[in-house]
Amino acid sequence: RRTSGTGGIKPNIANFGADQYDVSTPEGRLAQEKFYNHFYVAINIGALFAYGFMTTLCSSGLPGVVPQEDGYVVGYGLGSGAMVLALICFICRRRHYTMKPPGGDALLGVMMHVGSAARAGSWEGIAVFLGWPLMLLGVLLTVVQSFYNRHWLLYVAVSTLGVGFTGICVGCSGDRRWLDRASKNKHLRRQHTADFLRVMPVLFTASIGFNALYNVMSFWYQQQACQMDNRLWGGYQLNGSFYNVMDCVAIIAITPPVLKHINPFFDRMLGGLTRHGKLLIGISLAAISVLLAAWMEVQRRAAPVLPTISLCAPAGVHMSDYSGFWIMIPYGLMGAAEVYVNPTLYHLSYAQTPQRLRSVAQAICLLMTSVSTGMFTLLTAMLPTANDLNKTHFEYGYYVSAVMAIPFLIAYCCVQKNFVDKDFDLPDDQDDEMEPFKEVAYTRINFFKDFPSPRSPWNSPSNSPVPTPIAIAEGFFARTGDDAFTMSEAT
């Protein structure tokens, strides 16, 4: 139920917010782009409250107010109450919102186009058609591997994910002219499918390349922190997960100066801060965060071992004489990286896909997080493990994660080089494909359209290498001034 609710809310709520902006002016477009940063700040305000208060409330209660045995009941009750309050606020203001109609079975239309092109013999269509289920199967196998730890299953999962990912990226790259073999359907125009698929290689490579680094923070930073010195006054110990609040704090604190001062500075220095530039800045900050945490792990392991047993590490593991507050620096750097990467990918999914497919694109953006998490699970299974980090080289996993991100970033730079932005905020033509003879090779944008091409003076498609005989006849009578003669009369 939680997964169903998350899948229904997350792909739609960001798009709903972006729909409220009038993008007919440059100021409106800029405000819409900044909205995703504000949206991400709002997410992390909630996460800060959850990490900083709710987790402790659930596990330990609130002294003098909530007994420990009632902690989870009160915690879940507060969370549910907050959701009900948000729903009431939304309903009360509903008539003031811009409500765009749903896109119908747009995803089904994409699947039918890709499937029919694959049946027609297009190798790109076959690659995309098989790539999606293979990638999803790979994610499922990573879950199975967590419970049924077998080396052969590990290799199968890696191979399945790799083949599926490569098939989708290769098939969706290029001019996508292979879609001219696809059969028309009532759900979606083939032009929309082509425009939707063109975003996938950029979204896949950038998202997985960044999350290869981000997952190190999500899973390993707190494990490392648990063997640092987390003591406070009176012998009280902080949990290693507590330091994750620095990630949220960094996002909340950094976003305003980034939008008001830092990005305008880069605009002036670079002649314009593009989406590509933002992603490279964010990924660079994430890499610095991981490498700094790896260096700290080396320093922690070299520090003297304290007699105090860590309460968040495995049983019997002692702390090291290295303050846990140092790990907040890598957490903060990763938060700064998120400010540049995640809102940028959300905006890419919205602004560069057809209107009817925007929620699908957002869902796929979130799916990439699951794919990268699955890949990280496989990486964890490949590396040697130990309850006591002093008995292993934990930093090696950090280095491997950084290296693993490199091929995805190289692939991203390759596909980004040929990516051309489009404007999808014009009124969307929702009519079904009913008229015959509309599939005209439209080489100026490198793939066909399912609506008539612009006309040349000869009244033939403007990209046609030579005018057709009928167009020649039309042009001849038009030049003779015989306006009364029409092709209908000629036939």
pLDDT of residue 348: 94
* Average pLDDT of the segment spanning 57-81: 84
Average pLDDT, the chain: 82
**Phi, psi at 172, each rounded to 5°:** -85, -10
Q: Which of 15-24, 29-38, 482-491 has the lowest mean pLDDT?
A: 482-491
Q: Which candidate, 72, 69, 53, places its Cα nearest to that of 242?
A: 53
**Residue type present at position 83:** M
Distance, CA of 325 to CA of 332 (rounded, Å): 11
pLDDT of residue 149: 77
The three-point CA angle 283-135-404 to 5° equals 35
**Phi, psi at 308, each rounded to 5°:** -80, 130
Could you say which DSSP state residue 428 is in? P
Instruction: Give the pLDDT band (50/70/90) at residue 426.
Output: low
21 pLDDT above the threshold of 80: yes
Distance, CA of 289 to CA of 296 (rounded, Å): 11
Element (H, E) at 80: helix 71-92
235 pLDDT above the threshold of 80: no
The helix-helix angle for 123-147 and 358-382 (nearest 10°) equals 50
Distance, CA of 40 to CA of 278 (rounded, Å): 15
What are the C-alpha distances in Å from 432 to residues 185, 189, 190, 380, 450? Answer: 8, 8, 11, 49, 10
Q: Which of 326-340, 410-424, 441-455 has the lowest mean pLDDT?
A: 441-455
The percent of residues in the chain predicted with pLDDT above 90, rounded, is 44
Higher-pLDDT residue of 366 and 51 is 366
Q: Which two tokens stand for residue 23?
A: 């993008």
Higher-pLDDT residue of 114 and 100 is 114
Helix (H, G, I), strand (E, B) or coil at 440: strand
* Average pLDDT of the segment spanning 82-102: 85
Distance, CA of 459 to CA of 374 (rounded, Å): 54
Higher-pLDDT residue of 489 and 393 is 393
The helix-helix angle for 190-216 and 358-382 (nearest 10°) equals 40
Could you say which DSSP state residue 429 is in? -
Instruction: Give the pLDDT band (50/70/90) at residue 7.
Output: low
